[in-house]
Structure 1
Amino acid sequence: MEYSITLPTFQKTITLRELLETQWLVPRKVRHFLRTRKNVWCNHQPIKFHEMVHANDMITLRIEEDDYNYQTVKAGSKENIEVLYEDEHLIVVNKASGVKTHPNQPDETATLLNDLSAYLGKKNERPYVVHRLDKETSGAILFAKSPLVLPILGRLLEEKKIYRNYQAIVWGKLTQDCTIDKRIGRDRHDKRKRIISERQGKTAITYVKVHQVYKQTSEVYCSLATGRTHQIRVHLASIGHPVVGDPLYQNKEEKRLALHAYKIKFLHPFTQEQIEVIAKPGLW
C-alpha cells in the first residue's frame, strides 16, 4: 500500500525523521520498516531520514500490509452509513442509537464496522477502529482508513488532542455548569456497569455545560478530560441527574438513551488542517 501526502504550504523545513516522528507521530516500528526497506520517497525520489523536507513536497510511503494484523469482518449494509467527513486517510460517520460499534463475534454483521466495511469495500478500502461509542449512544465516530494513520490517531486520542463533545438530556433541573471529578471503577456485582469508586477507580473528569432547562429535564453538553467507559452516564447519575433513557443508571423507561456524540475536532495529522465535524443534534 502506498500513500502520497503533499506537505502544506506553511510546513517548516525539517528532516524526514522529524516529520515522521514528531509531526506525524508515526510509531517507531513503522518508522523502522520505512527506513530499513527504503520505502520513502520525496517528489518521486528516494530520501534518507536525515535529509530535509520542505513545504509542498510530496512524501510517498509504502506500507507492507503483512506487517499489520487486520481482522476481516463480514460486510453489512453500506446504505446504513451516513458520512460526516471523509478523505483518503480517515472517515467520520454518524452512528445510530442501538447499533454496536464493532462485532464481538466473527459471524456478526449488524454493527457499524460491518456496514462501514461494505461502504469502503467498494473503493478497496478498509475501516480501522480508533475509538468506540456505547451501543445506545448515537453520533459522530472516527475511523482510520489505513494501518498507517490508525496508530497516529490513536496517539492523538491518548494525548487528548481529539476533542469530543456530547449532547445529553438529563432528568431534573440542572441550573449551573459544573466539573465532575470522581474516580470510576467496575461494578463487582454487574460486569456491564461502572460505579464511582474513590478507592479503586481510575481518574475521570467530565465538564458539563447547561444549555437549556425544561420542566422535568435539562439539556447539557459534556466534554471529557478522560475517556472511561460510561463516564458521562456514571458521572451525571452520581450528581442526581441521570441521562434520560439510560437502561443501566436510572429506572424510568424511555425509548432510547438521550446521549449523542455531537462534535469531533482535531488537527489532521498530515495536512495540519483543523477538522471540525458536527453530527446534527439528537432527536428524542
Structure 2
Amino acid sequence: MKDTSLLENDDDYNDDLPFAADEAAQSYKNWTVPNELAGLRLDAALAKLAPEFSRSRLTAWIRENHVTVNGHIVPPKYKLIGGETIQVAIQQDESQLAFTPEAMALNIIYEDDSVLVLNKPAGLVVHPAAGNWQGTLLNGLLAYCPALAQVPRAGIVHRLDKDTSGLMVVAKTVPAQTHLVRQLQARTVKRTYRAVADGIVPYDGKIETLIGRDPHNRTRMAVVPFGGKEAITHVKVLERYADFSYIECQLETGRTHQIRVHMKAAGHPLAGDPLYGNPRHPATTEAKAAIKAMARQALHAYRLSFIHPQTQEKVQFEASLPEDIYHLLSVLRLQAGMDSAIKNADEWQKRLTDDEDEDWDDDDYDVDVIYIRE
C-alpha cells in the first residue's frame, strides 16, 4: 500500500491529450516477415525476429493487442505467408522503472555533503522489488538528489520494513556508503526502536537467536534451531499497561523482521502486526480501535547513531513517535489512569463500608501517576 500523499505530483498530466501523451512516450518496432518464416505462427515468427525479448513476453503483447500484422490485431496462432508488416508497441518492463526518479515529499532531518538522515513514513517501501517497482524511497531519493544515481542502491545502506516508520541514513557518496556499510558490519551503527507489544513484558533483557525463513511459511521469518543468521535484540520496558507494554528495542544485528520475530518468539508480538501479531489479543474497545486505525505494526525507528564518514565524530538523531502510535499510547495511558482511579475508588468505598464513623482525609485518595521517559 503506497502513501499517495508522497507520490509524484500529477499537475503536469494533460487529461485532454491522453493518446498524444502515450504515443509520444511509446516505442515501436517494425519487421517485414521474410519468406523463410512463411507458414509459422505469429508468436513463433516474432520470437525469431525479436530474440531480445522472451517468447512469453511477446505472446503476452500479442494477446494484449500490442502487436499488429498489416495494421490488424490477430491472435498468436495466426499463420504468416511472408511479406507482412509486423509492428510491436514495446511495453516497458516494470522492473525498468525501479531506478526512475519520482518526486515525493521526503522528511529530511539532516543533510551534508556525505550523508542524509530521513524519517521514513509507514507505508513507504524502501527498495524496489517484485510488486513494488515504483513509488519507493529509492525513486524519491533519485528525484531529490540526482547525484545518487552514481551511488549503488542510491546510497541506501540499511532498510526498514514497509510499515515500519522512522530514521534511516543514506550515503551521498561511494566512500561514505563504504564507510557506513563497514560500520554496520562492525555493529557500531546503533539503531533504537520504540514499539508497543502485546501483554506485559516482565523485564528488560536480551533476545539472542538464529533467524531464518519460516519452514512452514516462506513469506515470513522465524526463530530457527539451525541454518539461520545470528540475531540479537536488547529489550527495555518503558511502560506497562493492563494488556500491552511500551518497549524500546536496540538492534545489535539487523536481520529481516528481527524485532517483530523476536517479540513474537518471546510471546509478546507487536500490536497490530499483520504478519506476526495476534489479532485475538484481548484489549479494550478503545485500544482495539486505535490498533485498527494504525493498520500496521506499532514499530518506529526512534534513534539512530553512527560515526560520521567525513568528520569521524559520533552523531545521533531522534524522531518522535508518529501520530498513529502516539494515539495508541495515549489511549493506553488514559485507560491505565482510569483503571487506577477506579481501583482506588473501590478501595475507598470498602473502607467507608468497613468503618463509616472513621474520619478521613482527602490525601488518602491516591491516583497513580505514570511518568513518561521520552
TM-score of the alignment, normalized to the shorter chain, above 0.5: yes
User: Is residue 241 of structure 2 the alignment partner of residue 201 of structure 1?
Assistant: no
Whole-Å separation in 2 of the counterparts to 1:138 and 1:244: 14
Structure 1 gap segments, 5+ residues each = 1-70
Q: Cα offset for 1:72? A: 7.2
2:169 alignment partner AA: L
Amino acid at match of 1:137: T
Query: How far 1:225 moved relative to its partner?
Result: 1.6
Are residue 110 (structure 1) and residue 135 (structure 2) matched? yes
Query: How many pairs align?
Result: 211
Identity of matched residues, %: 40
Report what 1:235 is aligned to. Answer: 262
Residue 242 (structure 2) pairs with residue 211 (structure 1): no
Matches within 5 A, 1:53-72: none
Task: Give the deviation of 1:141 after TM superposition.
Answer: 0.7
Provide the secondary structure at the position in 1 that maps to 2:166: strand
Shift of the alpha carbon at 1:148? Answer: 2.2
The answer to whether residue 116 in structure 2 is matched with residue 91 in structure 1 is: yes
* Within-5 A mapping of 1:83-232: 83-104=108-129, 108-121=133-146, 124-126=147-149, 127-232=154-259
Per-residue CA deviation, residues 159-210 of structure 1 (Å, 9 max, x unaligned), is: 0111110111001111310111122121123222111112222221110000
Counterpart residue number, 2:366: none
Contact 1:74 1:108 in 2 (8 A): no
User: What amino acid sits opposite 1:74 in the alignment?
Assistant: T
Bigger relative CO (Cα 8 Å, ≥ 6 apart): 1
How many angstroms apart in 2 are the aligned matches of 1:195 and 1:90?
Answer: 33
Q: SS at 2:310's partner residue?
A: coil
What is the distance in 1 between the residues matched to 2:318 and 2:254? 19
Aligned-pair CA distance for 1:134: 0.8
User: 1:75 is matched by which residue type in structure 2?
Assistant: P
Instruction: Flag as ranges the 4+ runs of structure 1 deviating above 6 A.
Output: none
Stretches of structure 2 lacking an aligned partner (at least 5 in a row): 1-96, 280-290, 326-374
Q: Which residue of 1 aligns with 2:45?
A: none
- Residue 250 of structure 1: aligned partner: 277
- Secondary structure at 1:204's aligned position in 2? strand
* Structure 2 contact 126–159 (Cα < 8 Å) conserved: yes
Question: Which residue of 309, 314, 338 corresponds with 1:269?
Answer: 309
Q: 1:88 to 1:72 in 2, by over 3 A?
A: farther
- Residue matched to 1:75: 101
Instruction: Please give the alpha-carbon distance, in whole angstroms, between the structure 2 residues aligned to 1:199 and 1:102.
Output: 29
Check the 8 A contact 1:196/1:238 in 2, yes or no: yes
Normalised by the length of structure 2, the TM-score is 0.54
The separation in 2 between residues aligned to 1:261 and 1:83, in whole angstroms, is: 15
**Equivalence map 1:5-20=2 (5 Å):** none
**Cα offsets for 1:66-123 (capped at 9, x unmatched):** xxxxx97112223x200121111111111111111011259833111111221113xx
Secondary structure of 1:229's aligned partner: coil
Moved more, 131-140 or 248-257: 248-257
- Structure with more strand by fraction: 1
- TM-score w.r.t. structure 1 length? 0.70
**Contact kept in structure 1, 2:190 and 2:252, CA below 8 Å:** no
Q: Is the 8 A contact 2:196 2:246 kept in 1?
A: yes
**Structure-2 separation of matches of 1:190 and 1:95:** 28
* Equivalent-residue separation in structure 2 for 1:241 and 1:125 (angstroms): 40
* Counterpart-to-counterpart distance in 2, 1:171 and 1:164: 22
More helix by share: 2
Q: Distance in 2 between matches of 1:85 and 1:114?
A: 19
Question: 1:211 & 1:227 partners in 2: Cα distance?
Answer: 22
Q: Which string of whole-angstrom CA distances, capped at 9 and with x for unpartnered residues, describes residues 119-154 of structure 1?
A: 113xx4543111111111110011111122111111
Q: 1:216 to 1:128 in 2, by over 3 A?
A: same
